[in-house]
Amino acid sequence: MKLLIGNDDGIFAPGVRALANTLAADHDVTVVCPDRERSATGHGLTIHQPIRAEKVTSLFKENVEAWACSGTPSDCIKLALGALLDSPPDFVLSGINQGSNLGTDVLYSGTVSAAMEGVIEGITSIAISIASFTDQQFQPAAHFAQKFLNHLIIHPLPQPMLLNVNVPALPVDQIRGVAITRQGIRRYHDIFAKRIDPRGKTYYWLAGEVMEDLEDQLVSSADSLILTDVQAMGQNLIAITPLQYNLTANSRLNALTDWLLPLSQGKSLL
């Protein structure tokens, strides 16, 4: 299989090296990553300046073709699909990210956005993260990605989608299993620390801690029986969450149509 791998931690991150080198044992792997860390950039694209890409040697196994890109995580995948690869890959992968991508965090995640670029182009994609910002043990997640990819090859999905995978930062014997999950909701207590730089100018540093993990009030009673990704992490399970780029709140369409009716019956809408 032909694989395209990106990330948001940058080309020098140990997570992408573990993932690419593990998968290169069985697959044709190309890596295109930002030339520096670009975490929490969401789905940003570079449109006001050129994007540069340079081949990278010695970081990966010899059979891995690697590029360092000046752009965002999404830029990297778009550039690879549109210019660097001679044919489309069978799968796009992003990671292994240092730190989980759970709940509403996926809206900000460069890791998830890079994988979403693959889905936009009709390619099944996987974003994979470990649930720790300090633990550097990426190999268990890399081995799981290898097994998971083989399962997808043998049992292909009915249509392309993004599978967001979060792996507990635990020894393999302490991981209790795998669960298909739904996206949870996380609320943060944001703190903007006000500081003064050496030249006496004020700047702000965003910090924050999770205050609570919330239940989605619009979720159906049937879906509520399915664990959220956050809950799965709390139970030491690998969480696999299917995501989509269509953000339409389908369950609210009919209610909003009725809500708008009085306005549409007016003499003039504009």
- Determine if the pTM surpasses 0.85: yes
The percent of residues above 90 in pLDDT, for the chain, comes to 75
CB 146 within 8 A of CB 19: no
150: confidence class by pLDDT, cuts 50, 70, 90: very high
CB 101 within 8 A of CB 111: yes
CB 70 within 8 A of CB 52: yes
| 45 alpha-carbon distance from chain centroid | 15
pLDDT higher than threshold 80 for residue 216 = no
260: confidence class by pLDDT, cuts 50, 70, 90: confident
> 70 vs 255, which has greater pLDDT?
70
The percent of residues above 70 in pLDDT, for the chain, comes to 91
Give the whole-angstrom CA distance, residue 150 versus residue 119. Answer: 19
pLDDT higher than threshold 60 for residue 218 = no
Amino acid 188: pLDDT: 72
Query: Which CATH number does the domain 2-183+219-252 belong to among 3.40.1210.10, 3.40.50.970, 3.30.70.100, 3.30.70.890?
Result: 3.40.1210.10
Q: Give CA separation, 220 vs 169, 174, 214, 227, in Å.
A: 31, 32, 15, 13
Give the whole-angstrom CA distance, residue 97 versus residue 244. Answer: 20
Amino acid 38: pLDDT: 94
First to last CA, the chain: 55
DSSP 8-class letter at 174 = G
**C-alpha angle with apex 128: 122 to 133, nearest 5 degrees?**
145
Rounded (10°) CA dihedral 29, 93, 101, 110: 90
221: confidence class by pLDDT, cuts 50, 70, 90: low
Amino acid 91: pLDDT: 98
**In the predicted model, what is the mean pLDDT of residues 206-223?**
61
pLDDT higher than threshold 60 for residue 219 = no
Q: Which of 63-72, 84-93, 119-128, 130-139 has the lowest mean pLDDT?
A: 130-139
Q: Give CA separation, 180 vs 147, 166, 202, 222, in Å.
A: 16, 11, 46, 14
User: Which amino acid, one-letter code, is at 50?
Assistant: P
The tens digit of pLDDT for each residue in 156-214 reads: 999 999 999 999 999 999 999 999 999 988 777 767 888 999 999 998 887 766 655 55
Determine phi and psi for 137, rounding to 5 degrees: -85, 85
The tens digit of pLDDT for each residue in 2-50 reads: 999 999 999 999 999 999 999 999 999 999 999 999 998 999 999 999 9
Q: Which residue, 185, 172, 162, 190, is CA-closest to 231? A: 185
Give the whole-angstrom CA distance, residue 143 versus residue 261. Answer: 54
DSSP 8-class letter at 104 = G
The helix or strand, by DSSP H or E, that contains position 76, with its residue range, turns out to be helix 73-79
Every domain of the chain with CATH number 3.40.1210.10 lies at 2-183+219-252
Largest CA distance in the chain: 70
**In the predicted model, what is the mean pLDDT of residues 209-235?**
72
